[in-house]
Amino acid sequence: MPLKSEDRKYCVYIHSTLDKGENNYVFYVGMGVYPSRPYSKTGRNARWRSISLKYGLRVEVVFKDLTKDEAYAKEIELIALYRNAGCNLCNIEDGGKIFNYSAVKT
């Protein structure tokens, strides 16, 4: 069965700090419905809020027009990539379908 356009409403995005040079530091990788979730400041943990308030917020949508499962897979991939590169991400989990909301400290 072919996918409907509304099935491809998900995106994967990164949040980085604002910097006038080339030193934008990636501090969060997420997935959600495009275009609202990448730019939303609600439902974020205390560390995310602290970093974005102190250093500013730059949003980059890396992938869009994805199904939910495609977005989950890309989110897992990017979280692993940035963590392996030494980024200290605000992500509590490794991405994907399972999210432990009880682990969030607001």
Calculate mean pLDDT across residues 76-104: 84
What's the pLDDT tens digit per position in 37-86? 999 999 999 999 999 999 999 999 999 999 999 999 999 999 999 999 99
95 is written with which tokens? 């991405």
Domain ranges in the chain are 5-97
* Residue 97 CB contacts under 8 Å (≥ 6 apart), including other chains: 72
pTM: 0.85
Across the beta sheet with 26-33, the strand order is 26-33, 10-16, 58-66
Q: Reply yes or no on whether the pLDDT at 2 is more than 50.
A: yes
When mean pLDDT is compared across 2-6, 9-13, 22-26, 100-104, the lowest value belongs to: 100-104
Q: Reply yes or no on whether the pLDDT at 30 is more than 60.
A: yes
